[in-house]
Amino acid sequence: MRQPCVLLKYGELALKGRNRGRFEQQLLDNVRAALHDLGPGVRVRRRRGVIVLSAPGRPGLQDELLDRAREVFGVSVVQPALRVDRTPEAATAAARDLARAARPDGTRPGFAVRARRRDKDFPLTSTELNILIGDVIRTELGWPVDLTGPEVEVAVEVDRREVFVAVERYSGVGGLPVGCSGRALALLSGGFDSPVAAHRAMRRGLACDFVHFTGAPLTGPSSAYKAYALARRLARFQGGARLWVIPLGHAQKELALAGAGSLHVVAQRRLMVRTADRLAHAQRAHALVTGDSLGQVSSQTLSNLATVEQAATLPLLRPLLAWDKEEIMAEADRLGTAEISRLPDEDCCSLLAPRRVATRTTPGALARLEQRLDLEETVDGLLAKARLLQVTPGRHEETGEASAVS
Ligand code: ATP
Ligand code: MG
């Protein structure tokens, strides 16, 4: 037996004080979901401390397995490997062949063999295995042994039923498996910040659904298209998502007619949060997530953040609170959300936007303004008009939805 496979490792540190079994099960579920569309024949095996992916008979999938595994939250290391018979001979031959293939130009890097046995019931100790394999690579390929700073590390892992051998090692995205921290509802605008914030929340194990408020019927559909495209890009990190689109236009107008003035932006944000909070409760989510960053714009002063937060009963999480705009933009580029966020849109009729945004607000001032509307009825009305979209994951190559609205 000699089968190409991909090994997934997760950081032991991430597991400190956590329920390891749940973490592992969630990770396994998420890995399966991330590979689901590759069709039957993809195998996901669980070994102690390792997840093993393979696609017997479909060698062309090896790179795809590797790429997808690197994106699954909770995975800290990914290694393309060979799975071979559980004998010293098979392990040695696989190590030599992988090492040779890793230097097609014939250069001779310093190397070390690092064997470990998850199954102690093996004829050789780890040290004996290191020496056996090291000798073969040294004599047959002419590579010098370098135990302190090797350029190539040959990893040999003896398991109960097989041996895995790898010479390459890539870092995964890290974080925690989506779902193991609970569920959240992320407020997704068409901007750069909220998708990055949602991604950070997912990365810490929160399964996210999304809600987007449009200015409909006072504005066009562009912001909803963008929100959908963004949700689609983000959905691939958790195998799907739900997006609620809620037309806020009438309520925005009511706020303006009630004399919101410079409080308009904060009042509108409070209404979004209040509505999202109700929706989150109904969907059994445990938190809200926004893309707020302290002081980034005048609506995001500490007092405005506090005034908005007061409209929520659930914890309101702001993963980007201390991020600079440059850091957010760089991350949005990496995630592929920036190209979507860059498209023009309008989520509030520009005629309603006040000339000045109050930087210092109090919940009291907002409550007085809100008394002029029937808040409960407004929120009920918004929820009744919410449209639910099931979002399937979109991968990097596909930007069809984004160009459709440009
Ligand atoms: P973003 O780039 O995410 O739009 P921003 O810097 O433009 O953020 P604001 O417009 O003040 O900041 O919005 C702060 C947060 O409020 C957003 O990150 C998002 O979570 C939420 N939000 C704003 N507008 C909407 C909207 N139309 N629908 C849903 N959430 C919104
Ligand atoms: Mg915005």
Q: What is the pLDDT of residues 241-300, one digit of tens each?
A: 999 999 999 999 999 999 999 999 999 999 999 999 999 999 999 999 999 999 999 899
Cα 22 to Cα 25, 199, 204: the distances in Å are 5, 22, 15
| Global pTM value | 0.90
Average pLDDT over residues 354-383: 95
CA-closest residue to ligand 1 atom 23: 189
Burial 225-257 (b: 16+ CB within 10 A, else e): bbbbbbbbbbbbbbbbbbbbbbbbbbbbbbbbe
What's the whole-number mean pLDDT along residues 18-36? 89
To test the pocket of ligand 1, the residue of 185, 194, 323 to mutate (highest count of ligand atoms within 8 Å of its CB) is 194
Q: Which two tokens stand for residue 377?
A: 């009825």
Mean pLDDT of the chain: 93
Residue ranges lining ligand 1, Cβ < 6 Å: 187-189, 191-194, 212-213, 269, 272, 290-292, 296-297, 299-300, 347
E-strand spans in 188-338?
206-214, 241-247, 287-289, 316-317
CA-closest residue to ligand 1 atom 7: 191
Nearest bound ligand to the CA of residue 301: 1
Specify the higher pLDDT residue, 148 or 49: 148
**Nearest-CA residue for atom 12 of ligand 1:** 292
Nearest atom in ligand 1 to 300's CA:
11
CA of 52 relative to ligand 2 center, distance in Å: 42
Task: Name the pLDDT band for 397 (thresholds 50, 70, 90).
Answer: very low
Closest atom, ligand 1, to C-alpha of 186 = 20
CA of 346 to the centre of ligand 2 (A): 10
CATH architecture for residues 2-171: 2-Layer Sandwich (3.30)
Q: How confident is the model at residue 13 (pLDDT cuts 50, 70, 90)?
A: low
Helix (H, G, I), strand (E, B) or coil at 363: helix
The token pair that represents 126 in the structure block = 């780890």
**Nearest ligand, CA 245:** 1
| In the chain, domain spans | 2-171, 183-398
Task: Kindly identify the ligand whose nearest atom is closest to the C-alpha of 265.
Answer: 1
Q: Residue 216 has which token pair?
A: 């409909």
Structure confidence at residue 226 as a pLDDT band (50, 70, 90): very high
* Nearest alpha carbon, ligand 1 atom 14: 292
The three-state (H, E, C) secondary structure of 115-183, written as one string: EEECCCCCCCCHHHHHHHHHHHHHHHHCCCECCCCCCEEEEEEECCCCEEEECCCEECCCCECCCCCEE
The whole-number pLDDT of residue 399 equals 40
pLDDT tens, position by position, 104-159: 999 999 999 999 998 888 999 999 999 999 999 999 999 999 999 999 999 999 99
Q: Distance from the CA of 364 to the center of ligand 1, in angstroms? A: 23
- Residue-level pLDDT at 274: 98
Measured between alpha carbons, how far is 225 from 218 in angstroms, rounded to an integer?
A: 16
Which atom, in ligand 1's list, is nearest to the CA of 190? 4
Per CATH, domain 183-398 is 3.60.40.10: no
How many angstroms is it from 212 CA to the middle of ligand 1?
9
Q: Could you tell me the two tokens for 319?
A: 């993963």
Site to probe by mutation for ligand 1, drawn from 185, 187, 188, 189 as the one with most ligand atoms within 8 Å of Cβ, is 189
What is the Cα–Cα distance from 272 to 256, expressed in whole angstroms? 15
